[in-house]
Structure 1
């Protein structure tokens, strides 16, 4: 399946403390429960359902003969372990649900967006992922520290605006009749135009991210060729000697010069591609959404 057709991934506010971000990211189903308003029964712990039956069974076995006493002890231990495990799961779920509610404005689920907004967010995420996983980023050639901070923040800002736009799209669809009287169309048009303008602006922003990603991927290819050429460059004397020994002097001299020229050409391409990527990033980050 085309990655661009997949729904977007969960987006977490990058300003949250790392420990909270990790907790939220690890339990998307809990986040969906919190978003839907689902609540746990805080007055009843399911672990307590084990206690009374287990107590009666254990009491019966303890008052019986010795073999039953041994069996009762084993059953009692199993019940206690099961009770502790169930109680721990209940407490953990309750805590995570409380955390999800407390930070409800600091994460965005795919279902928070309508389909067009989902697809646009996914495009932004794909672009940022391509940049952060590139070799030139990992090698620190395109302001890696700035990318690591600015790009997640960019995705968060885009996601927040898409969530609001999705909500207003839904509201607009309910309020505006499908068929308007001719003399009423002009009255509704400014509201429709406002939504269209917001969509156009966000689309332009995502395209700019994608442009940056393309520049980075282009730089990545040249960087890959550059690294291979560097390894070959170390063997230049061997190639020069081979040419000098096997080709006429005039021809050998020209081929040797070609080796140097090709190395310089690839290095220039590499430097230009890195410069273009940095310029594109600069244009993007000079006009943040924040």
Structure 2
């Protein structure tokens, strides 16, 4: 992996139950183990243990009768439960995490699931989503025309699915298509490569739309901070008026005082305009054809 390529974060299906999502998010080792082909041990005792205990109880039945077998069975069950309770809790937790990861193997995407180009696209998309979700204008509800908390994670998940699918298909394409093709047959393979390029262009455009939304939100954030600071100054306008009146004639001070209010109105107009631009960028994102797994 090129160290200069941005590394995306884990992507989870936003439809996962909160408890499952929490386990997956905090179990990177288990997720990678599942991707590497690890299979969790089945719950309960192993078949060998079951066979051994069964033979032991049958022998007890023959030697001691039903009551003896029942007593020994209770002892074995108790010892088994005690052993389970006394087992290493870290190992039990690791097995549980591996089992959850295996059961939901199709509902998470690791950076290793993507090739270099797709990793870069996903990282760029995630950075733009973070810009939006961590912005002040989002936190204060000023971007009320789009439900970012729901829409953007779903967008990242769909994008991640498509990028993972593209990665798998491109890897398979490279394995199938010969490297040194005669000129008279090379054209036969061209439509397949063109299809992959077309998918990549479409996904790149989708990421660019997210980045545009992130840029507009960052601008709205900057203007929002300026707007709030100006509100503080507007509350102190009488102080500035008093200072101006004390250092110049009223007829000279009046235009400066009017200018303070006018500048405040200008910043407020810029603020509302920047919010409108951010909302339009978000609306454009939603108006695009939804991403669906290929």
> What CA RMSD, in Å, does the superposition of the two structures yield over aligned residues?
2.2
Partner Cα distance (1:111, 1:263) in 2: 51
Partner Cα distance (2:8, 2:161) in 1: 13
* Counterpart in the other structure of 1:199: 200
Higher relative contact order (CA 8 A, sep 6+): 2
Partner Cα distance (1:184, 1:250) in 2: 87
Partner Cα distance (1:188, 1:169) in 2: 13
Partner Cα distance (1:92, 1:34) in 2: 15
Q: Do the aligned partners of 1:138 and 1:144 also contact (CA within 8 Å) in 2?
A: no
Structure 2: which 5+ runs fail to align?
47-83
SS at match of 2:88: helix
Partner Cα distance (2:21, 2:170) in 1: 29
1:34 paired with 2:26, answer: no
* Counterpart in the other structure of 1:17: 17
Deviation readout 1:158-201 (Å, 9 max, x if unpaired): 00000000000100001111221111122111100000000000
Structure 1: which 5+ runs fail to align?
46-82
1:187 paired with 2:188, answer: yes
Deviation at residue 280 of structure 1 after TM alignment: 0.5
Q: Do the aligned partners of 2:146 and 2:283 also contact (CA within 8 Å) in 1?
A: no
Q: Do the aligned partners of 1:137 and 1:144 also contact (CA within 8 Å) in 2?
A: no
* Counterpart in the other structure of 1:55: none
Deviation at residue 144 of structure 1 after TM alignment: 8.0
1:259 paired with 2:260, answer: yes
Deviation at residue 109 of structure 1 after TM alignment: 0.6
Q: Do the aligned partners of 1:4 and 1:123 also contact (CA within 8 Å) in 2?
A: no
Partner Cα distance (1:214, 1:85) in 2: 55
Deviation at residue 89 of structure 1 after TM alignment: 1.9
Deviation readout 1:191-229 (Å, 9 max, x if unpaired): 000000000000000011000000000011100100000
TM-score w.r.t. length of structure 1:
0.82
TM-score w.r.t. length of structure 2:
0.81
Deviation at residue 5 of structure 1 after TM alignment: 3.5
Partner Cα distance (2:206, 2:291) in 1: 9
- 1:244 to 1:143, Cα distance in 2 relative to 1, 3 A: same
1:217 paired with 2:254, answer: no
* Counterpart in the other structure of 2:273: 272
* Counterpart in the other structure of 1:114: 115
Greater Cα shift, 92-101 or 139-148: 139-148
SS at match of 1:282: helix
State the aligned residue count: 253
* Counterpart in the other structure of 1:49: none
Q: Do the aligned partners of 1:123 and 1:206 also contact (CA within 8 Å) in 2?
A: yes
Deviation readout 1:12-68 (Å, 9 max, x if unpaired): 0001111111111110110111111113556899xxxxxxxxxxxxxxxxxxxxxxx
Partner Cα distance (2:31, 2:177) in 1: 32
